[in-house]
A and B are shown apart, each in its own frame.
Chain A
């Protein structure tokens, strides 16, 4: 039974990590332009980071 005390938090923690990553990708706009992102990796000089959120408008609305 004691193994549960270790395994349960560990697996939940891993899941939560994935969830946090999803929140991060969502909020940093990484799903905003899937077509463009696929093309942008082809050239080095193209900016391949998502654009900064204008004035953090979407983030503020979520909090």
Chain B
């Protein structure tokens, strides 16, 4: 959707209107960096007729525009921003994003309240601790201190505990117990025991523990939320750059409609550079089609009237008018989407590390607390002392360290990956990635760059043809122009879609394009070549191939060193696949696979007990990406593939795959270390609490101490820094 290709489109679907007809529109703007950019963009958009307000958020890159009435088309806003030299696209933030923002705010407010409570309750409990060590503090003063602590801690704990109470209740209703259940029970029981102790004039009240506990746990929760929200919005922004809109032609007027609303028989316009929205047949127009993302084929296909088009293919050179032969949900795409759903279901059954720990931990802790109460009473402690000790067990074992163990490590790991250009969609994705023991690559666009490059042409010939190549938008011509670098552009150029370009170089007429167009007998013409010639002169042939990413072989070797077998599954023809496989040093490869074959292969590997990492970029990979144990997609991949993948790497380097696996493994090791530490801590603290050795001071010390150790372990260098 670049400025040069902008056609008039009706993008009304992206405007949210209220009853009075006032509209709101969101744009994603990239390239804005400073106050000058803000000023330029906001002013230009505000000056448009019918625009009430415009505000650019520099942090997220979102431009929010308020429209007064119907008279400004969203297209005008888009063109205005692009006209200033910024890349922009329309963006539908959707309900899910708003809900996530709200959740983040809720957590931040709860964290603020818990912090306030934890800080201020100390004013009263620190003097009380002094009393525990025999300083002069008589019983009535102690009670006053505890009452003051109660006034501060109780409302704070109840407010800050809401996220835990809600989640615990939801989990109990489903008949399961997650980590929030012991937390909620612990906090409520602690408050109740503390109140009864204070009323009875006892010496052990744990108001500070209840609120400090929540404070520490909320730090973990907030980190986890930031991780998910940040990665999701980044992934969403990438997807927004590939807006799914079809342009319907009704009585000569073009209107943008959501792809889902396209009906069989609709006439659709596909501009050069756009994707084919649904399956259909060409009515008028000639062009070339890039099927790489659908089938993995690298050769371009020439199309003309009557030719069948597959949804998702990229229209390269000419404007096409097509008639839809299938609705969006009946297109080839939909079959792939159904496979993806099935894959995502098996994946959601994955049990996260923290939940595995909780499943062990919850019954253990509750049994220990119950035993303390029953046992203590039976051994003659009296119900009050027995209950106090049971509460102490719950407090010291409350999973602060456990709650921080995984999120803290994963935040450190994913922020390191983010700096390296890898987006992690969730913490679970990192955990699954750490477990993989087999890597499957797609060829086109993953091991290779996914776009053609000139091979084996002498520099002087390239220079000769370059002026014409620079005037063309055809991908092969562009590859030629890229090879030649900057220079002159031919004059009086005329481009014939699907054929080639003609123009004057130093006053001589020349043509660049398909064999027949240039005047060569096209009997053995191939799609991955261009011909060039001056009128009545010798014709020169340029051959193009999809070349390897420079670090593809190195990446495969590095994966081997990590002990991971590598395999290639491609939809392309056997000979190019074999070539690539040999170049990167892979012996296990299969070619000419359908999307369904790829899924079947992944499934077969899973049945053998392999945990597969799939790296792919095409629609034909999407189902396999969803099915695999873990998956990665490059930033240039189609939206479906990016949706299905756990991680998206945005850079040109394939090495990101190795780095992601290493980081995920390191993060898993760290998380396990943290669990080990928590277990050790509990092994010491629980018997002490049972024996009645814990007082409020010791509880506070043990709790924050264990959390700090876990946080420091997560923040230890190597994970926080990129290795050399």
CB pair B123–A19 under 8 Å, yes or no, is no
By a CB distance below 8 angstroms, the chain A residues around B64 are 51
Interface positions, chain B 105-139, Cβ under 8 Å from A, are: 105-106, 108-109, 112-113, 116, 119-120, 123-124
Report how many residues on chain A are interfacial, defined by Cβ distance under 8 Å.
Answer: 32
Query: Given the interface contacts A23-B109, A54-B24, does A33 sit within 8 Å of B120 by beta carbon?
Result: no
A-B contact pairs, 6 of them (CB 8 A): A19-B113, A22-B112, A32-B60, A33-B57, A43-B35, A62-B109
Q: How far is the CB of A63 from chain B (nearest CB, A)?
A: 11
Interface of B, secondary structure class, is helix
Q: Kindly state whether residue B141 has any CB partner on chain A within 8 Å.
A: yes
Distance (Å) between the CB of B601 and the closest chain A CB?
45
Given contacts A33-B60, A34-B59, A36-B58, contact A46 B42 (CB under 8 A): yes
Q: Are B152 and A46 in contact (CB under 8 A)?
A: no
Q: Answer yes or no: A61 CB below 8 A from chain B CBs.
A: yes
Since A33-B58, A34-B59 are in contact, a sample of 13 more A-B pairs with Cβ atoms closer than 8 Å, ordered by chain A residue number, is: A8-B148, A33-B57, A33-B60, A45-B39, A47-B42, A51-B64, A54-B24, A57-B98, A57-B102, A58-B101, A58-B105, A61-B102, A62-B105
Bound complex: CA of A36 vs CA of B41, how far in Å?
Answer: 13
A42 to B24 Cα, complex, angstroms: 28
Which A residues touch B35, using CB under 8 A?
Answer: 39-40, 42-43, 46
Q: Which B residues are in CB contact (< 8 Å) with A36? A: 38, 56-59
A31: chain B residues within 8 A (beta carbon): 108
Contact A16 B105 (CB under 8 A): no
Q: In the bound complex, what is the Cα–Cα distance between A62 and B98 (angstroms)? A: 13
What is the total number of residues of chain B having a CB less than 8 Å from a CB of chain A?
Answer: 31
Judged by a CB distance under 8 angstroms, whether B34 is at the interface is: yes
Q: Scoring A residues 25 to 49 as 1 if CB is less than 8 Å from chain B, else 0, what string do you get?
A: 0110001111110011011011100
Shortest CB-to-CB span from B152 to chain A, Å, is: 6
Q: Which A residue sits closest to B124, measured CB to CB? A: A8
Q: How far is the CB of B40 from chain A (nearest CB, A)?
A: 11
B371 within 8 A of A: no
Contact of A43 with B120 at beta-carbon distance under 8 Å, contacts A32-B59, A33-B60 already known: no
A1-B141 CB under 8 A given contacts A12-B120, A40-B35: yes
Contact with A along B17-35 (1 / 0, CB 8 A): 0000000100000000011
CB distance from B33 to the nearest CB of A (A): 9
Which of A26, A33, A40, A51 contacts B109, CB < 8 Å? Answer: A26
Complex CA distance for A4 and B34, rounded to whole angstroms: 52
Encoded as 1 (CB less than 8 Å from any A CB) or 0, chain B from 80 to 105 comes to 00000000000000000010011001
Q: Are B120 and A11 neighbours in the complex by a CB distance under 8 Å?
A: yes
Min CB distance, B96 to chain A, in Å? 14
Find A23's partner among B58, B101, B112, B123 (CB 8 Å cutoff).
B112
CA distance A61 to B378 in the complex (A): 49
Interface residues of B in 46-75 (CB under 8 A from A): 55-60, 64
> Smallest distance from the beta carbon of B503 to chain A beta carbons, Å?
45
- Determine the distance from Cα of A46 to Cα of B181 in the docked complex, in whole angstroms: 49
**Chain A min CB distance to B177 (Å):** 28
Q: Are A39 and B58 in contact (CB under 8 A)?
A: yes
Q: Complex: how many Å from CA A55 to CA B407?
A: 34
CB distance from A57 to the nearest CB of B (A): 7
A62 CB contacts on chain B under 8 angstroms: 102, 105-106, 109
Q: Which of B267-311 contact A (CB under 8 A)?
A: none
Beta-carbon nearest neighbor of A21 in chain B: B112
Interface residues of A (CB under 8 A from B): 1, 4, 8, 11-12, 15-16, 18-19, 22-23, 26-27, 31-36, 39-40, 42-43, 45-47, 51, 54, 57-58, 61-62
B162 CB, min distance to chain A CBs, angstroms: 11
Q: Does B494 contact A (CB under 8 A)?
A: no
Nearest CB on A from B181, distance (A): 25
Given contacts A26-B108, A32-B59, contact A18 B116 (CB under 8 A): yes
Shortest Cβ gap from A46 to chain B (Å): 6
Complex Cα distance A21/B102, Å? 19
Minimum C-beta distance from A52 to chain B (A): 10
Q: A39-B35, A58-B101, A58-B105 are in contact. Are A19 and B116 (CB under 8 A)?
A: yes
- Cβ-closest chain A residue relative to B103: A61
Q: Using an 8 Å CB-CB cutoff, how does the interface string of B532-545 with A read, 1 for contact, 0 for none?
A: 00000000000000
Q: Are A35 and B120 in contact (CB under 8 A)?
A: no
Contact B38 A46 (CB under 8 A): yes
B98 to chain A, nearest CB (A): 7
Residue of B nearest to A60 (CB): B102
C-alpha gap A58/B35 in the complex (Å): 28
Q: Give the contacting residue for B105; candidates A1, A4, A26, A47; CB below 8 A.
A: A26
CA gap between A57 and B95 in the complex, in Å: 12
Residues in A whose Cβ lies below 8 Å from that of B106: 61-62
A15 in contact with B105 (CB, 8 Å) = no
A43 touching B112 in the complex, CB below 8 Å, given contacts A8-B123, A32-B57, A36-B57: no
Complex: chain A residue closest to B37, CB-CB: A39
B144 within 8 A of A: yes
The answer to whether B57 touches A46, judged by C-beta atoms less than 8 angstroms apart, is no
CA distance A11 to B681 in the complex (A): 35
Q: Determine whether the beta carbon of A15 is less than 8 Å from that of B141.
A: no
The distance in angstroms between the C-alpha atoms of A26 and B152, with both chains bound, is 22
| B-chain residues with CB within 8 Å of residue A27 when the two chains form the complex | 105
- Chain B residue nearest to A55 (CB atoms) is B18
Q: Are A15 and B109 in contact (CB under 8 A)?
A: no
Q: Which of B55, B102, B105, B144 contacts A51 (CB 8 A)?
A: B55
Measured CB to CB, the nearest residue on chain A to B123 is A11
- CB-based nearest A residue for B151: A12
Residue of chain B at shortest CB distance from A27: B105
Which listed residue (A4, A19, A33, A46) contacts B39, Cβ 8 A?
A: A46
Chain A residues with CB under 8 Å of B102's CB are 57-58, 61-62
Bound: A42/B38 CA distance, A: 11
Partner of B38, one of A12, A16, A39: A39
Separation of A62 and B108 alpha carbons in the complex (Å): 12
B515 to chain A, nearest CB (A): 53
Tell which of A23, A39, A47, A57 touches B55, judged by Cβ atoms closer than 8 Å.
Answer: A47
Cα separation A19 to B117 with both chains bound (whole Å): 10
Residues of B within 8 A of A33 (CB): 57-60
CB distance from A44 to the nearest CB of B (A): 11
Complex CA–CA separation, A33 to B57 (angstroms) = 6
Give the shortest distance, in Å, between B471 (CB) and chain A (any CB): 39
Question: Whole-angstrom distance between the alpha carbons of A33 and B58 in the complex?
Answer: 6
Q: Give Cα A11 to B24, complex, Å.
A: 45
Asked if B59 and A15 make an inter-chain contact with CB atoms under 8 angstroms apart, the answer reads: no
Picked from B60, B98, B112, B116, the residue with its CB within 8 Å of the CB of A26 is B112
